Chain A
Amino acid sequence: MNALTPSKTPDARMAQITKLAVMAVGGQGGGVLTAWIETLARAQGYEVQATSVAGVAQRTGATIYYIEMTPKTDQQPIFALAPSAGDVDILIAAEMMEVGRAVLRGFVTPDRTTLIGSTHRALAVSEKSVPGDGIANAEEVRAAAEIAAQTLILADMEGLAVGQGSVISASLFGALAGSKALPFPRAAFEDAIRQSGKGVDASLRAFAQGYDAAQHGVEPVEKVAAPASEIAGPQNLVGDWQKLIKRIETLPQDVQQMALAGLQKVVDFQDCAYGSAYLDRLDTVIARDSTEKDWLLSETAAKYIANAMAYDDIIRVADIKTRKPRFDRIRTEMGAQPDQVMQLTEYFHPRAEEIAGLLPAALGARIEGRPKAMARLDRWFGKGRRLRTDSLPAFAMLHILGGLKSYRLKTRRHAVEVAHLDAWLDRSLAPLATDYALSVELLRCRRLIKGYSDTHARGLTKFDSVMNGAAILKGRKDAADWVARLREAALQDPEGKALSGALETIRSFTDPQTH
């Protein structure tokens, strides 16, 4: 052991190696950012090494770039080729869940890491393909990042860059400069961008935005207050509306907000008389509710009755598609300048069911009962149509369809929807006297009905399965919990596999023979 010095402590010079990792989603320009950082550090007299594992991960997968640097001397430093947990000084994550992944992999530690993250989301396929709400919880990531990082900078770097006609690599580079985690002046960063020679002006603008954002540290979560709705229209209709508002004001405090939102939706869907019918329905629920449970049943009913009454028929779609604010919104979203022409193509594919639904109730019901007639309707109407709503014939057609509101309440579709709504309300409220929570959960099952055509049909099947499942559970103490579980299961996958599993479980413990 003579040749060795026992019990060494890590070389103090280790601290001279700055270790920086970039975690990004393929296609975000992580390579460009890495190249800028390299150029910058070399220009500042540093020895630099960058590595990456590109390959197929570049195709929208999670990617990681890694840089080490140390002031140049006459000796060649030995750098590592990959980041190690607990040994990263600066971590740049170009998306919120990549921030989470960085923390998860241990690359962010309270003793040393400056974490620069973008709060925007690029949803993973697993998050967006579930029929319900599968979006990962960004708040959990934010909370973890606050604990894990020594210095934390979080802002919507994507938004800042896009706002300047640039890409996120530029705003992140700005945030890196603004974080002062590297001992280089701002001008040196900007020189690195200029040297790359591509889209320099836009990049520098986004860089400045990122730089400023870094000064603020963590950008607070914005709570957008719902804008107070204004009402406009002919005098008599406004009068009718005021009367409805008066009725809302007489409702229990806890119900008012949801009832107002619901009222707006159904009045927008049809008219004030229809809004009045909505409040009538709601009143029947309120009459059976009390303050004991903070009017939860009524609030839930206010939400789902409105959704059920404002069903998606051709008239509603045609109306929405031909409104002026929509045209303005799309022009803004597409960034169309006043001197540019915007063409608008709608993708429609009506089926025989929609056409039959549009017929007078009795006639529609008769046709629906005759497969041959339905087949004929499908031949006539059932094909994909591309409607150019910026042109007059297509616009006029949808405009007329959208104006059929006075006729709507006579259609077959309306009859079907009303019948379904009444049945659902009755079934939901049936156990109210004995199991309040179960009634609330049953009302909430309305959430399962959404979409059009096949998706709508599948939603209805799931809805029926859950409602029937609830019937088996009747009388059990945990019936409400189980209905909630069934509903969540139904929203997990389109085929209803999770739901079938959950129903199986219910049957196993309710079936007397298994006991």
Chain B
Amino acid sequence: MAERSFKKEVAHLRKGAGDTFTGEGILAITKALLENGVGYVGGYQGAPISHLMDVLADAQDLLGELDVRFEANASEGAAAAMLAASVHYPIRGAVTFKGPVGVNVASDALANLSSSGVTGGALVIVGEDYGEGSSIMQERSHAFAMKSQFWMLDPRPNLPSITKAVKDGFELSEASNTPVMLMVRIRSCHVTGSFETRDNIAPPLSVKDALSSPRSDFARVVLPPMSYLHEQDKIKNRWPAAEAFIVENKLNEVFGPDRAPLGIVVQGGMYNGVVRALQRLGLADIYGNTDVPLYVLNVTYPLVKDEFERFCKGKDHVLVVEEGQPDFIEQQLGSFLYKSRSSVNLHGKDMLPMAGEYTGQVMLDGVTAFLKVAAPDMLPGNVRAPNAEASQIPDLSKTVPIRPPGFCTGCPERPIFAAMKLTEQELGKHQISGDIGCHLFAALPPFEIGGATMGYGLGPASNAAFDGGGERRAISILGDGGFWHNGLSSSIGNMVFNKSDTVAVIVDNYYSAATGGQDVLSSRAKNDTKSTNNPISAALKGVGVEWVRQIDRTYDVGKVREVLHEALTTDYAGPKVIVASSECMLNKQRREKPLRNQAIKEGRRVDIPRFGVDPDVCTGDHACIRLSGCPSLSLKKLDDPLRDDPVAHIDQTCVGCGNCGEVADTAILCPSFYQADVVHNPTGFEAWRAKQRSKVIAWLQQRRDTKRLVLR
């Protein structure tokens, strides 16, 4: 874990009864796990739940004291499978990953787990990556709960509610022998606030203890005829038990007046948004005391028919606020009302959009539309009869450029894609498939490399149709994270077995970088609790790849291009795999900068390189930028009436990775780039030599300047 240290956060985890925790939602969940006697925790990193994994990875001492096992699982599937420990043993377990992509990967294990049923509480904490800032396809994890029949919690987005949901989740799971998914949205994971902590509790039965008295029961194995019994058990026993628990413990909440002709049913996670809309309409105060009754579904699956019908009693109109699609909840509630021949008018996606995030404005518009129909008298006058002035703010939509994420300054992946772009310029456009990870940014300008991504570790697998080869070999990208997650078997194994005549490029930056710089098997750092330094190339050879090329410095654009060229043109017909390795610059800088500053302070010799552009030599064609996109390589407008176009310019954030110089050289762009190495604390000889040199140079310069006109 090189990106940052979480020592400060770990201290929070030690808080006990009477203390107050103040911080982020995802960290509060982590603390709540320990308060609820969790026996083991696992997961796979990804925004927005990486923090839970990072903090626990740094909390080995505390976990040791409590006898809690922490596992950084190889994938979400592996994480979900770990919950098998709660099938036979009364041990609480929790795993975490992002949804819905992580849930996709985990669905095999989750389906089996749900069929077997659990004895100890099993909690799946899913960070739902939906709406603004999301990096994945827009879907809902909700569907998985419905198909496998595990329960889904969607608590109100504040720390007391989220941490209570952890407790409720374990208890609900145990009461109904069913795994429970605790869904938290991106913003809830990052929301800050406070809650009163309790003492951490060591698990009554630890996983170590369990190994001393192992259990098994074939009735829990998913094999016929038990699997048929599991299905019956779900419907006849587990589901009713869950409903009973939800009602008795009031997991869902009702706010507002008892009697009113209208009401709103809302997912817990959407509660704050609804209240804000009501606040803006004058129908709720800042503490959430509302004039419109709210039925808050902290449990979004299963829905409890009786409880819902009690809420609807005496109401003419009910609005369902359910973000995302399909509208599973609205459909179910509609079915409830229809079957009980209710006269309640149910609204939802007719007033709120079917797709997309429910932002503040969307919510305000939706609630207003609902009130216009259900209770127009409640609306403030200015909403009923708007007296709006035309906005006079100029439209900037054509002015402001989009700013998608991209490679960081000094990223070691940039030169790989620069080389690939140069290779395509030489050999023509190729069929290229991408994978999940920072390297997917190559699909965006200026590189525009790769046209598809089918899932984590599936880059080469998604080129399988082209395994037979053709005029130009297909290329696929795979990151080191994806390689160890799923790629080794699903992608590389697939290539070997099918004698694929394609090229795979493995981008090895020493970390699972896009998710925050967690270690993977091939990381180069020493890690006390994990096995690192397992080379990717060794694994490749192990599964039978014969053509492997290892590149140890991706910044050597010429070398990368050469190897790519070889892979694309060699006579060898089997799978060709290039491993391009250089450390993630973000992590490298975080590690090395303090060390470097320390060294300078102590008077040791330190050489700091940075790049620059000679503005007089640069002609402003920006070819270098089209092979880079580096944030530190930008443009500058010169104060020269003879120049039309801005010239390239490198700002002080340059980390001296060398990509622009290498690209200028390999692509034969122009001689404007230079590298300046400032040597701090030079040796005595070095300083003396530099002085002599500059004396001679200055003499030569002066001599010439006396013979010509010098304009200043």
Contact = CB atoms under 8 A, between A and B. Distances in A.
Nearest to B712: A230
B635 to A, nearest CB: 5
B16 interface: no
Interface string A127-147: 111111101110011011001
Contact of B360 (A26, A61, A85): A85
Interface in B141-179: 157-158
A279 B619 CA distance: 23
B99 to A, nearest CB: 13
B669 A452 contact: yes
Contacts of B187: 51-53, 81-82
B621 interface: yes
A126 B402 contact: yes
Interface stretch (A100-108, A179-187, A360-368, A475-483): A100-108
A81 B392 contact: no
A27 B400 contact: no
Contacts of B626: 129, 494
A390 B690 contact: yes
A237 B708 contact: yes
A451 interface: yes
Interface in B172-227: 186-188, 190-193
A344 interface: yes
A150 B707 CA distance: 60
Nearest to B360: A84
A228 to B, nearest CB: 10
B623 to A, nearest CB: 5
B673 to A, nearest CB: 5
A342 B629 contact: no
Interface string B374-393: 01011111000000000011
Contacts of A303: 641-642
A137 B285 contact: no
B408 interface: yes
A390 B492 CA distance: 48
Interface string A227-241: 001111110011001
A55 interface: yes
Contacts of A268: 709, 711
B375 to A, nearest CB: 7
Interface in A108-162: 108, 110, 121-133, 135-137, 140-141, 143-144, 147-148, 162
A124 B402 contact: yes
A131 B393 CA distance: 32
Interface in A42-79: 42, 48-64, 70, 75-79
A56 B405 contact: yes
Given A56-B405, A399-B704, A129 B646 contact: no
Contact of A144 (B360, B394, B639): B394
Nearest to A6: B377
Interface in A1-59: 1, 3-11, 13-14, 16-17, 25-27, 38, 42, 48-59
B700 A340 contact: no
Given A78-B286, A230-B712, A399-B704, A60 B407 contact: yes
Interface stretch (A288-296, A320-328, A499-507): A320-328
Interface string B653-678: 00000000100111111110111111
Nearest to B292: A4
Interface stretch (A330-338, A411-419, A431-439): A330-338
Given A9-B380, A11-B282, A97-B400, A347 B642 contact: no
A25 B629 CA distance: 15
Contact of A312 (B281, B284, B619): B619
Contacts of A77: 286-288
A307 interface: yes
Contacts of A131: 621-623, 645
B250 interface: no
A459 B381 CA distance: 63
B134 interface: yes
A320 B617 CA distance: 8
A264 interface: yes
Residue of A11, A63, A87, A231 with most chain B CB atoms under a 10 A cut-off: A11
B682 A53 contact: no
A450 B408 contact: no
A51 B192 contact: yes
Nearest to B698: A324
B514 interface: yes
B697 A136 contact: no
A510 B216 CA distance: 85
Interface string A389-429: 11110011001000100000000000000000000000000
A258 interface: yes
A78 B446 contact: no
Contacts of B701: 322-324
A231 B133 contact: no
A124 B393 CA distance: 24
A81 B272 contact: yes
Interface stretch (B87-95, B255-263, B339-347): B255-263
A485 interface: no
B97 interface: no
B607 to A, nearest CB: 8
Contact of A11 (B286, B404, B441, B620): B286
B623 A494 contact: yes
B237 to A, nearest CB: 38
A324 B676 contact: no
Given A76-B287, A334-B610, A54 B380 contact: no
Nearest to B256: A3
A108 B393 CA distance: 10
A384 interface: yes
B528 interface: no
Given A8-B291, A80-B272, A3 B47 contact: no
Contact of A231 (B283, B397, B625, B710): B710
A72 B680 CA distance: 51
B190 A455 contact: no
A27 B405 CA distance: 11
Nearest to A268: B711
Contacts of B284: 11, 78
B711 A231 contact: yes
B102 interface: no
Contacts of A489: none
A133 B644 contact: yes
Nearest to B157: A81
A70 B399 contact: no
A177 interface: no
Contact of B188 (A81, A229, A258, A395): A81
B622 A129 contact: yes
B709 A238 contact: yes
Contacts of A136: 399-401
Given A128-B634, A303-B641, A451-B621, A70 B286 contact: yes
A307 B570 CA distance: 46
Contacts of A124: 401-403
A241 B446 CA distance: 46
B407 A84 contact: no
Contacts of B158: 76
B17 interface: no
Contacts of A135: 635, 637, 646
B247 interface: no
Contacts of B400: 97, 100-101, 104, 136, 141
A494 B425 CA distance: 12
Nearest to B160: A76
Contact of B282 (A8, A38, A229, A390): A8
Given A7-B381, A55-B134, A234-B707, 6 more contacts: A84-B361, A125-B625, A126-B401, A340-B679, A455-B669, A491-B645
The 4 closest A-B pairs by CB, nearest first: A84-B360, A53-B133, A61-B405, A8-B282
19 contacts: A10-B282, A11-B286, A13-B286, A16-B286, A49-B193, A50-B190, A53-B132, A55-B133, A56-B514, A79-B272, A84-B276, A85-B361, A231-B711, A231-B712, A234-B708, A330-B674, A341-B687, A395-B693, A454-B667
